[in-house]
Amino acid sequence: MIPEMEQNNKRLIETLIRGRDSTTRLQDLLCRKENLNGSVSVEDLLAEILGSFSSGISMLNSSVSSENHGFLVEKMPEVYSGKKPAVKERRGCYKRRRTIDTSVITSATIEDGFAWRKYGQKEILNSKSPRCYFRCTHKYVHGCKAQKQVQKLEDGSNMYHITYLGKHTCPSITHHEVVLNFQDFKNTYHVSNSPSTITNAHIDPSVKQEVDSKGQSTDVSDIISSANDENTSPPLRWDEILGSCHEGASYMRFDHEDSCASTSSHGYMYMDYLNNDDLLSDGIGLLDQNVFLD
């Protein structure tokens, strides 16, 4: 990797870590107020944010530390080709991977911005929660070998233990993906005092794809745009939101306005993951994670 790029990535990681730590402190403060008036759990929202930070940091860390520039190149053991058995009788005849690039994180959400397809679920000995197995949606299209395993923690924290195996090699995923996701997140973020319920929303994949293709990057500390409604607070800076406690902010909302295309959308990103205790047993794959286009 180019030293300057690596330096920027390290700075970004530090920024993400700082944001995560600030959110943790905010979580500690807000949790004492015990959900005074909300049907929406502030704790859940904060846990979601923390999960996003953790995932991003983890992915960036693995990317920075890789000699192969992140997701682009990966060495896989010869024994695991990923090819289907030639004949039906050979079903299940494969070699286990033993030396593979893995990273492990604990996150409040299974969402990480990549497109996954669930291919298996297994009850694990001495574990109440099953382990779910995911592969990259683009496995057969682009030969992407990325996989992940997800298992819910048993400590009642609604956290997930996520193991990533291999790296994304599919063309739609680039090293900058995480940064751009983060930027998209940042550019469309504002805080409102209005009461509301959490619903689910997804950014239009085509819009996202277009943003990705621009490959542009801006300073994380840029002023956050504000697509206001009548109850919206004054525009806040990203570092103001996550670097300090914003008193009175009762929920967080995303508005998506695409400056490149003539489309816009708004809503609450990924917010309905956390309140669903049955995600794992019912199939995490039910979630719409197909963010990228083939």
Of the residues 57, 105, 179, 284, which one makes contact with DNA according to CB under 7 A = 284
Of the residues 1, 18, 66, 118, which one makes contact with DNA according to CB under 7 A = 118
Segment contacting DNA by CB under 7 A, of 3-11, 65-73, 82-90, 249-257: 82-90
Least distance from DNA to the Cβ atom of residue 262, Å: 24
What DSSP assignment string belongs to 158-221? --EEEEEES----TT--TTHHHHHHHHHHHTEEEE--------B---HHHHHHHHHH-----TT
146 or 180: CB nearest DNA: 146
What DSSP assignment string belongs to 1-48? --HHHHHHHHHHHHHHHHHHHHHHHHHHHHHTT--SS-SS-HHHHHHH
257 or 272: CB nearest DNA: 272
Question: In the stretch 128-157, what mask flags binding to DNA with x, by CB under 7 A?
Answer: ---x-x-x-x---------x-x--------
Answer yes or no whether residue 195 interacts with DNA by CB under 7 A.
no
Q: How far apart are CA 14 and CA 49, in angstroms?
A: 16
3-class secondary-structure state, position 254: strand
Answer yes or no whether residue 78 interacts with DNA by CB under 7 A.
no
Answer yes or no whether residue 90 interacts with DNA by CB under 7 A.
yes
The one-letter amino acid at 85: P
The one-letter amino acid at 1: M
Q: How far apart are CA 241 and CA 223, in angstroms?
A: 11
Answer yes or no whether residue 161 interacts with DNA by CB under 7 A.
no
Of the residues 29, 124, 260, 261, which one makes contact with DNA according to CB under 7 A = 124
Left, alpha or beta for 126 (phi > 0: left; psi -120 to 50: alpha)?
Answer: left
Of the residues 88, 156, 247, 248, which one makes contact with DNA according to CB under 7 A = 88
Contact positions vs DNA (CB under 7 A): 79-80, 82, 84-85, 88-98, 117-126, 131, 133, 135, 137, 147, 149, 165, 282-287, 289-290
